Amino acid sequence: MKNNILLFLFFSIFTNAQINRFFYEYKFIPDSNDKADVKKEMMLLDIDKNGSSYYSRDKFVADSTSQADLEKQIKGGSGNININRSERPGQVSYKVTKQYPDFKTYLFTRVSTDQYKVKEDAKPEWKILSDKQKIGEYNAQKATTSFGGREWTAWFTTDIPFQDGPYKFYGLPGLIVKIEDSTGSHIMTLVGNKTIQSPAAAEKQIEMPQNVRVLGMGGKEIEVTKDQYKKVWKAYVNDPSKNMREMMMRNSGDSNTKVAFKVRTSDGKEISDPNQVFREMEKRTKESLKKNNNPIEPDLVN
């Protein structure tokens, strides 16, 4: 009888074209040298008949607000575009999608001014154990895997008929309700769920005026393999301002294109000289990389 109920629920979900949204509390330690500094982010896992999408709720809200503001300014036709990201942008900038039925997995992420679509060439290989316990309201069973340069312990429930989970994890006989790496640096725990009629994260491309590009918004992703992405990341770490310099050089000979870079230093001083801007950007990036040395997937950047 239980199997019949699950099959009916599964069929009902897909025939009504609904989105099943699962909320995961993501706790992570960015700096391995400061384990007391634990960050939190609410992540969303949206599942429909075609696949799933895992992303930050805060980033989605901030991006949606900025996109609406950008569309309004473009329609206004004033010629001046100013993007003020007043909303909290979120601490997790990447997104992971999986395509059913073969679970083709992609990581969407940004390096400097470019967006990348990184194809995952490995799948989690699970060892299912006999251990069982209650995770929240769900009866869950234990499983382990090695993935991305970390050892992971997951708890899955057959009460929810999806063989999916947060980030790139999938392939267990039910939804993953909790997963944690062996160092305790990355923990994702299911804390709620609801059904929505259509994905609130529906994306649409904005038609940008000619010669207008807003960094961090829109644009086509560059599809790469993991090995290609590693090379891109290494080049970025070695020279963080390279993309910006190349963009300025490309546009310097175009009289119809105006490129201006401005940043504020830690003491509030505004810098507009390109060379000073690039030095400040490089300084900030290297400081950030030093404090964010504990990524969820070490094998992707090492």
Q: What is the pLDDT of residues 60-89, one digit of tens each?
A: 676 555 555 555 555 556 555 555 544 456
In a domain, 126, yes or no: yes
In a domain, 259, yes or no: no
Mean pLDDT (the chain) is: 80
In a domain, 34, yes or no: yes
What pLDDT does 271 receive? Answer: 64
What pLDDT does 219 receive? Answer: 58
Q: What is the DSSP-derived secondary structure letter of residue 217?
A: S
Please calculate the CA angle 186-215-294 and round it to the nearest 5 degrees: 20
Question: Per-residue pLDDT for 51 more than 70?
Answer: yes
Instruction: Provide mean pLDDT across the span 219-236.
Output: 91
Question: Per-residue pLDDT for 156 more than 80?
Answer: yes
In a domain, 53, yes or no: yes
Confirm if 52 and 36 have CB atoms less than 8 A apart. Answer: no
In a domain, 263, yes or no: no
What pLDDT does 288 receive? Answer: 85
Distances (CA, A) of 190 to 16, 80, 153, 179: 24, 43, 14, 9
Confidence of residue 8 (pLDDT cuts 50, 70, 90): very low
In a domain, 28, yes or no: yes
Q: Structure pTM? A: 0.78
Instruction: Provide mean pLDDT across the span 277-282.
Output: 74
The pair of structure tokens assigned to 27 is 């706790």
In a domain, 10, yes or no: yes
Adjacent-strand bridge partners of 144: 127, 153
In a domain, 69, yes or no: yes
| Structural domain range at position 114 | 2-225
Looking at the chain, which runs of residues are DSSP E strands? 19-28, 39-48, 51-56, 95-99, 104-111, 114-119, 127-135, 138-147, 150-157, 175-181, 186-196, 222-224, 263-264, 270-271
Q: Which amino acid is at 41?
A: E
Domain count, the chain: 1
CATH of the domain at 51: 2.50.20
Most confident of 152-156, 214-218, 241-245: 152-156
The pair of structure tokens assigned to 224 is 């790469």
Question: Per-residue pLDDT for 267 more than 70?
Answer: no
